[in-house]
């Protein structure tokens, strides 16, 4: 059995074990990038969405420009721009922190548009009913609009989260060693496809978890229409 596996994988199991340990450690980098991006981009996206819907025209135009640039250019180029163009490293940012900044700004743009669609999808009558009952603007937003918005935006948000899992691999362009970068390094060193395969399985598992979280959340909010 062991012999069969070793010949199938093209390397001895001890090496496979070493690779696996190394990759699991590096997966923390990927997870870090994923969670920090969400931590900042989810609230920032909401602020951007509100700015985009502002009646104050200059703000609206500024945000439109931001959305166009962030969504209209590749995230990979944005990463290069922040590291090699703005040289954030000179201001004390690590490569990882620079990657987080670029990811946050990029994903906030996508989230903003999803939030905006959600906010506009909550019927005007809901706001009017709240207004007549005397709710303040912030009460109306946080108690009436936001809960209904969350339900509406879950499916598109699920898409974005899964894309983000895979997009973390782009951070290697500014030499953040995350799981894909390590996989291709090991692929060259070991002359084997096994590390790349392991990386693939890692992404798959992570997205399976993301997907499960979203379907659970959708079920939880199924009690109303």
CB of 214 to other proteins, least distance (A): 18
Q: Quick one: which segment of 26-34, 101-109, 140-148, 183-191 binds other proteins (CB under 8 A)?
A: 140-148
Interhelix angle for 57-72 vs 95-121, to 10°? 120
* DSSP labels, 83-106: IIIS-GGGGT--HHHHHHHHHHHH
Binding part of the chain for other proteins, among 4-12, 93-101, 123-131, 191-199 by CB under 8 A, reads: 123-131
d(CA 12, CA 19): 11
Least gap, CB of 219 to other proteins (angstroms): 15
Neighbours of 83 (CB within 10 A): 22
Distance CA 136, CA 49 (A): 20
CA-based angle 45:39:195, to the nearest 5?
Answer: 115
Which of 15/148 has CB closer to other proteins? 148
Binding segment toward other proteins, per CB under 8 A, in 26-34, 48-56, 137-145, 179-187: 137-145
CA 119 to chain CA centroid, Å, is: 21
CB of 151 to other proteins, least distance (A): 8
Question: Minimal distance in Å, beta carbon 84 to other proteins?
Answer: 47
CB of 225 to other proteins, least distance (A): 4
Instruction: Give 10 or 123: the residue with its C-beta nearer to other proteins.
Output: 123
Confirm or reject binding of residue 133 to other proteins (CB under 8 A): yes
Among 1, 3, 132, 191, binds other proteins (CB under 8 A): 132
Q: Which is nearer to other proteins, 82 or 115 (CB)?
A: 115
- What phi, psi does 109 have (nearest 5°)? -65, -45
- DSSP H/E element including 70: helix 57-72
Q: If phi over 0 gives left and psi between -120 and 50 gives alpha, with beta otherwise, what is residue 110? A: alpha
Residues 65-104 that bind other proteins (CB under 8 A): none
Q: What is the dihedral of CA 138, 139, 141, 142, to 10 degrees?
A: 110
Q: Radius of gyration (Cα) for the chain, nearest Å?
A: 22
Residues from 145 through 164 that contact other proteins (CB under 8 A): 147-148, 151
Which residue, 17 or 147, is less far from other proteins as judged by CB?
A: 147
Which among 21-29, 71-79, 94-102, 134-142 is the span making contact with other proteins, rule CB under 8 A?
Answer: 134-142
Contacting positions for other proteins (CB under 8 A):
123, 125-126, 128-135, 139, 143-144, 147-148, 151, 223-225
């Amino acid at each position: 059995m062991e012999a069969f596996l070793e010949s199938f994988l093209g390397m001895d199991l001890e090496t496979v074990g070493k690779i696996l340990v190394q990759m699991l450690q590096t997966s923390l980098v990927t997870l870090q990038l994923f969670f920090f991006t969400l931590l900042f981009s989810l609230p920032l996206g909401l602020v951007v969405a509100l700015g985009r819907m502002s009646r104050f025209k200059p703000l609206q135009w500024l945000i439109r420009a931001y959305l166009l640039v962030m969504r209209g250019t590749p995230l990979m180029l944005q990463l290069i721009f922040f590291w090699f163009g703005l040289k954030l490293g000179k201001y004390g940012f690590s490569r990882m922190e620079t990657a987080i900044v670029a990811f946050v700004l990029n994903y906030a743009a996508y989230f903003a548009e999803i939030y905006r669609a959600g906010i506009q999808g909550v019927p005007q009558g809901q706001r009017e009913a709240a207004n007549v009952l005397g709710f303040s603007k912030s009460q109306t937003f946080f108690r009436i609009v936001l809960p209904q918005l969350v339900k509406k935006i879950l499916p598109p948000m699920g898409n974005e989260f899964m894309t983000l899992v895979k997009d973390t691999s782009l951070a290697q362009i500014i030499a953040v060693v995350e799981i894909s970068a390590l996989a291709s390094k090991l692929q060259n060193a070991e002359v084997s496809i096994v590390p790349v395969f392991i990386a693939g399985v890692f992404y798959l598992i992570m997205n399976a978890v993301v997907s499960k979280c979203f379907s659970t959340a959708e079920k939880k909010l199924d009690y109303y229409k």
